[in-house]
Structure 1
């Protein structure tokens, strides 16, 4: 019985599609957070709790704070204040809340299951637990180049967003 895996996968796919198709950057970031949390749930179902914790801490935590910081740094001006007030409505938060409820339901069910008995062994897809040592060895040996490339891409994206969103100080004085 692997329905938690499939439910998390559906939530991740739908949330990722909403990230790509959503024109509103804040709503896209909310959907991206839900997608990253769903991927963490997938890691839990395949027997990698350390990878799930890293997914939540590093991606859903630190990287998303960085993305929100970049969106705020762009400073779209006073004309967006009314739009920001609309983001506080329940319509903006209904979808992420529903998806998080489904993931929480799966998480509570998985944590409440007894994996020690043989009948519950089939609930997890993975055959062995993957710990920090295995993750560290894989990241710093086999996937070292990919880790470095990802870090450089994130840095380049941050610098590009800063330069693209940078406003001319004289233009702001003219608006006031």
Structure 2
């Protein structure tokens, strides 16, 4: 199990580095999704399968859709056909595809281990008590931070396109 944890951690770090170094924003979003999937795998290994599913549904699903929406909304002035050709190159999908396949296989293995004691599961009640108990202020502050990031990205993108 330690080897699987190291594999998940290395994929997380590799995906995060690749997300920060990509020039095309959509490619960075692909690597960010792989990073979030790897973090969910680490959460499953820690026995927090409910938190891992929330990680996948909320962050890898909803937040990434928001990022793609912002990328489309900003529209940095490239013609649509040229931008889509750059996004759809097979070489751009190979790295995230390989890392995501590794993480999906590891996640499936961790959800159904062949033997060994299962850690105590974290229930929805536990997560609800944490999020809306002592951490309610932090949850609300994160939502304002995401809103501020969206508004800032729109403002920066609008000024860049207007200046060209």
TM-score normalised over the length of structure 1: 0.83
Matching of residue 158 in structure 1 with residue 150 in structure 2: yes
- For the Cα contact (< 8 Å) 2:44–2:111, is it kept in 1? no
When the two structures are aligned, how many residues end up with a matched partner?
A: 164
Aligned to 1:137, which of 126, 129, 142?
Answer: 129
Q: Which has the larger radius of gyration?
A: 1
1:8-157 correspondence to structure 2 within 5 Å: 8-79=8-79, 81-115=81-115, 120-121=116-117, 127-157=119-149
String of CA shifts for 1:15-46, please: whole Å, max 9, x gaps.
Answer: 01111122221111000000011111111111
Summarize deviations over 1:143-162 as a string: whole Å, max 9, x none: 22211111000011111222
Please state how far the C-alpha of 1:83 moved relative to its aligned partner.
Answer: 3.8
RMSD over aligned CA atoms reads: 2.3
Separation (CA, whole Å) in 2 of partners of 1:168 and 1:28: 20
- 1:167 deviation in Å? 6.3
The list of structure 1 runs, each at least 4 consecutive aligned residues, that deviate by more than 3 angstroms after superposition, is 78-81
**Cα gap change, 1:168 to 1:96, in 2 (>3 Å):** closer
Q: Which runs of 5+ in 1 are unaligned?
A: none
User: Matched residues in 1 for 2:25 and 2:139: separation?
Assistant: 26
Distance (whole Å) between structure 1 residues aligned to residue 123 and residue 57 of structure 2:
16
Structure 2 unaligned spans of 5+: none
Distance 1:111 1:130 in 2: 14
- How far off is 1:71 after superposition? 0.3
In 1, distance between residues paired with 2:149 and 2:10?
A: 28
Structure 2 length as normaliser, TM-score? 0.89
In the alignment, the residues of structure 1 paired with residue 63 and residue 107 of structure 2 have an alpha-carbon distance, to the nearest angstrom, of 23
Deviation at 1:63, TM superposition (A): 0.4
Shift of residue 105, structure 1, vs aligned partner: 1.9
Is the partner of 2:133 in helix, strand or coil? helix
Q: Distance in 2 between matches of 1:10 and 1:90?
A: 24
